[in-house]
Every structure is written in C-alpha cells, then in structure tokens.
C-alpha cells in the first residue's frame, strides 16, 4: 500500500505544483499586462506633453512673428508718413522759393526795362530824335515852350 499512497501523494504534489505554476503564470501575465498598460500610459503622457510643448512653441513663434510683422508695418507706415511730410515741406519750400525768385526776376526785369527806356530816351534826346513831349520836365523844350525860335533854346543868355 505504501506504493499506492506514495503515488497518491506524488499525484497530489504534482497537482499542487501545476496549480502553483498556473497561479504564478497568471500572476506574471497580470503583472506584465499592468506593466504594459503603465508603459503605454507613460508613453501616451509623454506624447501628449510633447504635443502640448510643440503647440505652445508654435503659438509663441507665431505670436512673435505677428508682433514683428506688426512692428515692421508700423515702422514702414511711420517712414511713409515722414517721407510724405518731408516731400510736402520740400514742395512748399520750392513753391515759396519760386514765388520769391519770380518776384525778384520781375522786379529786376522792370528795373532793366526802365533803365533801357531811360538810356534810349537819353540817346534820342542827344541826337535830337526825341518825341514832342513838351509837357515832360525832363524834356529840354519844357522850359522853352513858348519860344518861337528853336535855335535859341540852347543859348544860355536867353
């Protein structure tokens, strides 16, 4: 009987051993599944964090680019306005200078015309070609208006 009992106990030991092995196998599978889930969660968290960081960096870059673009636009507008003001001032100054120059040239022209007319009258008077302006005090005949003998008008004793 000892043999039968030994076989029985050996069978029980094998059954318990198989049961423990199966239990350990299930426990290890469960722990592996948990570790896998945790690794997946960690990887997904890292992926999400990377995406969020990338988005934040992208937004900051876009914001900085927009600010730089706005600043450049404002600087260009300011430069345009200053250029327009300078052109306007230059235009005004040019007009004022033109007006002054035109006035000076007109005055100079009038003076030259008067001087030329005076010189012409003097030459005509010298050569006896002057017109009959007896009412003009500049005319030598003005004082001799009532003289009948024109040859005596240059006579100082008259």
Q: CA-based Rg of the chain, rounded to a whole angstrom? A: 62
- Count the alpha carbons within 13 Å of 86 in the hemisphere toward its beta carbon: 6
> What pLDDT is stored for residue 127 in this prediction?
83
Q: CB within 8 A of 139, min separation 6: which ones?
A: 125, 130, 133
The single-letter DSSP state of residue 148 is S
> What pLDDT is stored for residue 154 in this prediction?
56
* pTM, 2 dp: 0.39
Across the 158 residues of the chain, what is the mean pLDDT of every consecutive 10-residue run? Answer: 82 91 94 95 95 95 95 94 91 85 82 89 82 58 50 53
């Amino acid at each position: 009987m000892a043999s039968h009992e030994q076989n029985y106990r050996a069978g029980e030991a094998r059954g318990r051993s198989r049961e423990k092995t199966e239990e350990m196998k299930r426990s290890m599978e469960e722990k592996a599944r948990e570790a896998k889930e945790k690794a997946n969660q960690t990887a997904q968290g890292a992926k999400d964090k990377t995406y969020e960081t990338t988005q934040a960096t992208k937004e900051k870059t876009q914001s900085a680019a927009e600010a730089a673009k706005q600043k450049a636009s404002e600087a260009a507008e300011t430069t345009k306005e200053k250029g327009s003001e300078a052109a306007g001032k230059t235009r005004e100054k040019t007009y004022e200078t033109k007006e002054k120059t035109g006035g000076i040239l007109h005055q100079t022209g009038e003076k030259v015309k008067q001087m030329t007319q005076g010189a012409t009258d003097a030459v005509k008077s010298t050569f006896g070609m002057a017109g009959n302006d007896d009412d003009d005090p500049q005319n030598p005949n003005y004082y001799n208006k009532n003289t009948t003998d024109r040859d005596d008008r240059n006579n100082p004793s008259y």
